[in-house]
C-alpha cells in the first residue's frame, strides 16, 4: 500500500521551515505587503538555511536534496506568506533549474553557486503581451551577428526580474523560422541568458498587483540587447520544449505552495473560531462555521495528497505530467476556496489587510493563473484521456 507519511529527514525539514515561517516570515509579512517592498532580509535568511539549494547537487553549493524537499519548504512558507514562497519557487524552478538542467558546465559554474546560495536571483522570460498560455506564440526575436545574439522583443509578468540581487533573465526568443509542407511557419524557439544591466535590456516599472505585493514582478523590454553567442541555454531550437519540462515540475511546486495556503487558511479559521464569541458561544460551536472549516480541511488534505502523488511519480522517474496538472488545479482551487471561506469566518476582520486571511484572499487568485491556468490544466488532463 502507498505510504504518504514523511520520513524523518523530510519531517525535520518541514518542521524547520515551519518554525522559520512562523517566527521570521510571518511577523514582517503585513509590513512588506502594505509597503509593496521586497523582503531582502527574509530571502537572505532563506539562503542561509539552504532553501534555494535544496534540489541541487553539493558540487554547485546545493543541499543534495530533491524536488519533494523543495515542495515541503514551499508548503510551509505558503502557509503564512505567498510572496515569500513564490520568490523561492521562482528562484529555484524558473531561475536556477534551467541552468542546472540544460546549461553547459561553464554556465553552471558561473551561475549556480550564486543562485543556490540565495545571494542571487534569476528570472525566466517566457510570457509576452500576446503569448501567455499559448507560449508557442513567442514574438521576441534573436539573431546571430558577429558572435553575439541580438535580441528584440518584450516580456511581461516576470518574477524576480528586477531586484537588486537579480543577475539575469533567461528569455525565450525565435531564432529561426521554417516553412512546413502545408505552407505554415514553424518557429525555432531558443532560450538565451540575458544578464541584468545588458545595454538594450530594460526592466520596466514594477506592476501594481492585486496580491503577491512583496514579490518582485516586472515587464521587460529588449531593444537590440546583445549578449555573447555562448549565452544560448541548451540546444538551439529546444527552448520551448525545455521550458515545458520545467513547467511540469513547477506545477508540483505551485501545488505545494497552494496546499500550504489552503492549510494556512484552515489554521487561521480554527484559531479565530475558538476565540470569537457570538450569542453566548464561540463561533466554532455553530455548525454553520464548523462544517465550513471541516470542508476547508478536506480541501487542504486532498491537495496535499495530489502533490505528494505527483512528486513521488517524478522522483521515481515515471510520467507525471497529468498528475502535476491535477495537483496544480486541485491545490490552487483549494487555496482560493479556503481563502474565501476563511474570510467569511473572520467576518469584517477578514476584510482588513493586516489579517493573513485577507492577504491570502488577494494572493490566491493568481494561483489559478500562473504557471498554467486552470483551463490549461483541464486541457492537459483531457488530452491524456484521449479527448
Q: Report the DSSP pairing between strands 217-228 and 201-203.
A: antiparallel
| Cell numbers at 355, concatenated | 489579517
CATH 3.40.50.1580 matches 8-121: no
- Report phi then psi at 228, rounded to 5: -60, 150
Closest CA to 320 of 305, 310, 330, 306: 310
Residues of the chain with CATH 2.40.110.10: 123-238
Q: Where in the chain is the domain with CATH 1.10.540.10?
A: 8-121
Tell me the C-alpha distance between 231 and 42, whole Å.
31
Q: For the segment 285-312, what is each residue's pLDDT rounded down to a tens digit?
A: 999 999 999 999 999 999 999 999 999 9
Q: Which of 168, 343, 175, 321 is nearest to 250 (CA)?
A: 321
* Whole-number pLDDT of residue 5: 84
Distance CA 63, CA 69 (A): 10
Lowest pLDDT segment from 42-51, 111-120, 182-191, 354-363: 182-191
| 42-46, long-range: CB < 8 A, 24+ apart | 42/84, 43/84, 43/87, 43/118, 43/121, 43/165, 44/118, 44/119, 45/20, 46/20, 46/84, 46/88, 46/118
Residues 82-137: tens digit of each pLDDT: 999 999 999 999 999 999 999 999 999 999 999 999 999 999 999 998 877 676 78
List pLDDT tens digits, range 345-382. Answer: 999 999 999 899 999 999 999 999 988 899 999 999 99
Give the catalytic positions in this structure.
Answer: 371
CATH class of 241-384: mainly alpha
Is 0.75 surpassed by the pTM of this model?
yes
**CATH code given to domain 123-238:** 2.40.110.10
Helix residue spans in 217-316 (DSSP H): 239-275, 287-315
CA atoms within 13 A on the CB side of 47: 19
Strand partners for 185: 179
- Spatial separation of the C-alpha atoms in residues 177 and 128, rounded to whole Å: 19
Q: What is the pLDDT of residue 181?
A: 73
- pLDDT, mean of residues 311-332: 96
Location of each CATH 1.20.140.10 domain in the chain: 241-384
Q: Is the pLDDT of residue 8 over 90?
A: yes
pLDDT (tens digit per residue) in 215-264: 999 999 999 999 999 999 999 999 888 888 888 899 999 999 999 999 99
Amino acid at each position: 500500500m502507498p505510504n504518504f507519511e514523511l520520513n524523518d529527514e523530510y519531517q525535520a525539514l518541514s518542521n524547520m521551515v515551519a518554525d522559520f515561517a512562523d517566527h521570521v516570515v510571518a511577523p514582517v509579512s503585513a509590513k512588506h505587503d502594505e509597503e509593496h517592498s521586497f523582503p531582502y532580509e527574509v530571502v537572505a535568511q532563506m539562503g542561509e538555511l539552504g532553501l534555494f539549494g535544496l534540489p541541487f547537487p553539493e558540487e554547485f553549493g546545493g543541499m543534495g536534496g530533491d524536488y519533494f524537499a523543495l515542495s515541503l519548504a514551499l508548503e510551509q512558507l505558503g502557509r503564512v506568506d505567498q510572496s515569500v514562497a513564490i520568490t523561492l519557487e521562482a528562484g529555484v524552478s524558473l531561475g536556477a533549474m534551467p541552468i542546472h538542467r540544460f546549461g553547459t558546465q561553464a554556465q553552471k559554474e558561473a551561475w549556480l553557486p550564486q543562485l543556490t546560495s540565495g545571494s542571487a536571483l534569476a528570472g525566466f522570460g517566457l510570457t509576452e503581451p500576446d503569448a501567455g498560455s499559448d507560449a508557442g506564440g513567442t514574438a521576441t526575436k534573436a539573431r546571430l551577428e558577429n558572435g553575439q545574439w541580438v535580441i528584440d522583443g518584450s516580456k511581461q509578468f516576470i518574477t524576480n526580474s528586477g531586484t537588486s540581487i537579480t543577475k539575469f533573465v533567461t528569455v525565450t526568443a525565435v531564432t529561426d523560422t521554417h516553412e512546413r509542407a502545408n505552407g505554415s511557419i514553424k518557429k525555432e524557439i531558443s532560450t538565451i541568458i540575458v544578464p541584468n544591466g545588458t545595454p538594450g535590456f530594460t526592466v520596466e516599472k514594477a506592476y501594481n498587483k492585486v496580491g503577491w505585493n512583496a514579490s518582485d514582478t516586472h515587464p521587460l523590454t529588449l531593444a537590440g540587447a546583445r549578449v555573447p553567442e555562448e549565452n544560448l541555454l541548451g540546444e538551439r531550437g529546444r527552448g520551448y520544449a525545455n521550458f515545458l519540462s520545467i513547467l511540469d515540475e513547477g506545477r508540483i511546486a505551485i501545488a505545494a505552495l497552494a496546499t500550504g495556503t489552503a492549510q494556512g487558511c484552515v489554521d487561521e479559521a480554527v484559531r479565530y473560531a475558538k476565540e470569537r464569541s457570538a450569542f453566548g458561544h464561540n463561533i466554532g460551536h455553530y455548525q454553520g462555521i464548523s462544517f465550513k472549516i471541516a470542508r476547508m480541511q478536506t480541501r487542504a488534505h486532498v491537495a496535499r495528497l495530489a502533490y505528494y502523488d505527483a512528486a513521488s511519480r517524478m522522483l521515481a522517474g515515471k510520467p507525471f505530467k497529468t498528475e502535476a496538472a491535477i495537483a496544480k488545479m486541485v491545490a490552487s482551487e483549494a487555496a482560493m476556496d479556503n481563502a474565501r471561506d476563511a474570510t467569511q469566518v473572520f467576518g469584517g476582520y477578514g476584510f482588513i489587510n493586516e489579517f493573513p486571511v485577507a492577504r491570502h484572499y488577494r494572493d490566491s487568485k493568481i494561483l489559478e493563473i500562473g504557471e498554467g491556468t486552470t483551463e490549461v490544466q483541464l486541457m492537459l488532463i483531457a488530452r491524456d484521456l484521449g479527448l
